[in-house]
A = this chain, B = another copy of it.
């Protein structure tokens, strides 16, 4: 499935073990994939950063940061892990999780797998594996580049779909030395779901929408 022969098999088994079925190996420590996920997330971030740095020599760091976050988003990694057939490999206890939480198991396991490959084979191998076996075949960078990452419209669509009211309220307005600082809250059915503070009202709204998306897990 991965295109190479694993060395230390126990690392790969660990990568697919969700904490809901993990056992205590020491006080408070479980043999779940969470530590590997921490490591793999970092290695993946570094590999993707280099790929984008070289692929887009004339784009600034704002562009690179945004595109990377689309590539490593939970949503994208979940899809990727499903394509790779990880849903058949992950050990978990379905009674412990509701369906929305089950969704992120896949992306989490993908990151943990990257951590396992790194510990087993080192950075250069992991980079080649990710570039040649994963990114080239399964990640359409140029389509992601075009993808809507406008949190405001995403949030508005979500509210329409779920029959909820949404409003953006300007709740603060501070005079800075040379600029004004605006505070905007995103309210959904009257409840504050996100707040943003920025030097323009538009950007404060964007930030509030982003926070609300985060809080709602959209």
Chain A residues within 8 Å of B, Cβ to Cβ: 26, 28-30, 34-35, 37-39, 41-43, 45-46, 48-50, 53, 58-61, 64-65, 95-96, 98, 118, 122-124, 127, 171-172, 176-178, 185, 191-195, 197, 211, 215
In the assembled complex, the CB of A52 is this many whole angstroms from the nearest CB of chain B, namely 8
Please give the distance in Å from A20's CB to the nearest CB on chain B: 11
Task: Verify B28–A60 contact, CB threshold 8 A.
Answer: yes
Would you call A38 and B65 a contact (CB within 8 A)? yes
- Knowing A192-B195, A195-B192, A197-B215, say if A98 contacts B177 (CB, 8 Å): yes
A64 — which chain B residues lie within 8 A by C-beta?
A: 35, 38
Count of chain copies: 2
Q: Which residue of B lies closest to A207 (CB)?
A: B215
Distance A194 CA – B172 CA, assembled complex (angstroms): 14
Q: How distant is A27 from chain B, measured CB to nearest CB, in Å?
A: 8
Complex Cα–Cα for A28 and B127 (A): 30
User: Which B residue's beta carbon lies closest to that of A197?
Assistant: B215
Chain B residues in 8 Å Cβ range of A185: 192
Given A98-B176, A98-B177, A185-B192, CB of A49 within 8 Å of CB of B58: no
* Contact indicator B49/A43 (Cβ below 8 Å): yes
A-B contacts, 5 of them at CB < 8 A, read A37-B61, A42-B48, A95-B178, A96-B178, A123-B123
State which of B30, B60, B127 has its C-beta within 8 Å of the C-beta of A34: B60
Name the 5 nearest CB pairs between A and B, nearest first. Answer: A42-B49, A38-B61, A46-B46, A123-B123, A42-B46
Which B residue sits closest to A53, measured CB to CB?
Answer: B39
What is the bound-complex CA distance between A58 and B29, given in angstroms? 6
User: Can you name 4 extra interface pairs (CB under 8 A) apart from A26-B58, A46-B123?
Assistant: A42-B50, A45-B45, A193-B195, A197-B215
Which chain B residues lie closer than 8 Å to A45 at the CB level?
A: 42, 45-46
Closest approach, in angstroms, between the C-beta of A175 and any C-beta of chain B? 11
The one of B39, B59, B211 that contacts A49, using a Cβ cutoff of 8 Å: B39
